[in-house]
Amino acid sequence: MFVVEKLKALADETRLKIIKELLKKERNVTQLVEKVKKSQPNVSLALNKLENAKIISKKKNGKNIIYSLKNKENIKKILELVKDE
């Protein structure tokens, strides 16, 4: 069932935008808000969902929390399978 939860976590435009940004490099919430052009609360909710699904991880860097993908290669494969033609 955990696979289903991961796929559900990917099935959202904001979360997909966040994942695509995290594929490029690690980012904090402020950077993600700027990149995905969504409000900070929406980005935080999306990050929480992705973290609960074990798709992303976070680490503290001073006052910032930095988010990164747990397994970039697997995420790339999944996105390749479902990309728009």
| 85 SS3 class | coil
- Domain edges within the chain: 2-82
Predicted local distance difference test score (pLDDT) of residue 20: 94
| pLDDT at residue 16 tops 60 | yes
57, two tokens: 């991880």
Whole-structure pTM value: 0.88
39 with 33: CB under 8 angstroms? yes
17-43: per-residue pLDDT in tens?
A: 999 999 999 999 999 999 999 999 999
- CATH architecture assignment, domain 2-82: Orthogonal Bundle (1.10)
